[in-house]
Structure formats: structure tokens, C-alpha cells
Amino acid sequence: MPAATGSVAGPLVLYAVVTVAPTVLFWCALRVPALLRWWRARRRPPVPAGPPIERLAADLRRVHRELVRCPPGTSAARRIGTRRAYDALLGQACRQVEVPHRLDGLPEGIDRDLERLRIEESLRSCGLAVP
């Protein structure tokens, strides 16, 4: 029982601490691990989205050789498939070195061929050895 000359504030503060402390401790126990995971993820270096640029350049050269060396009797399906594979590789390379391209929106024809040449030259100027 509090003394007649003492205040009631001391026991009320103690009561508030005793009743609120477990709630705060459990809240911290639930939130701190997620906070630590978030903090560690921010400190981690970004993971590249695609394959290494060296492998991409090697694949570009390989598919370009196949595209150029198609013998006269090669089926149209094989030629078109090889050309589409080359376009997909060019698109990946453009995304990795941040070169804008319009290959996705152009139909087959002269415009698309010119865009391929422009992209190849842009990639060369960025230091990527493309045939």
C-alpha cells in the first residue's frame, strides 16, 4: 500500500511497464527477423538477370556463323528459327549493355535487317565483339 505522503504515479508506471512489456517483446521477436532479412538483402550485391556477357557474345558469334553458313538447300523453318534465335540473343545483349532496340516491333524484311545491322554496330561500339 502506498505511503500517505507518496504519490500514486510510481506504482501506475510500474503497472503500465509490466502490462505493456510482454506485448512489446513479442512484437519485437516477430518483427526483428524480418527486419534483419530485409537489411541483409539490401546489402547484397544485385544478381545479374541474364547469362554472363561473355557467354552471350560467344552464343551471338556461334548463331551468326550458322546464319551466314546456311547451305542453299536449308529449309525455311531452319533459317527462320536461326534468325529468331539470333534476334533473341541480340535483344538480350541490348538489355545487358542498355542499348535501345526495336527488334520486337518490326516485321521480317529490310527494316528488321537494318535494325540488326544498327544493333550490331551499337554493340561493337559498346565493346561487345559481334560479327
- Alpha carbon 76 to its chain's center: 35
Domain boundaries, the chain: 1-47, 53-125
Q: What does the alpha-carbon distance between residue 98 and residue 103 come to, in Å, rounded to a whole number?
A: 14
Instruction: Encode pLDDT of 4-35 as tens digits.
Output: 566 888 888 888 888 888 898 888 888 988 98
Distance CA 13, CA 123 (A): 70
Strand ranges, E, within the chain: none
Specify the pTM.
Answer: 0.64
Whose grid coordinates read 509490466? 18
66-82 pLDDT per residue, tens: 989 888 888 989 999 99
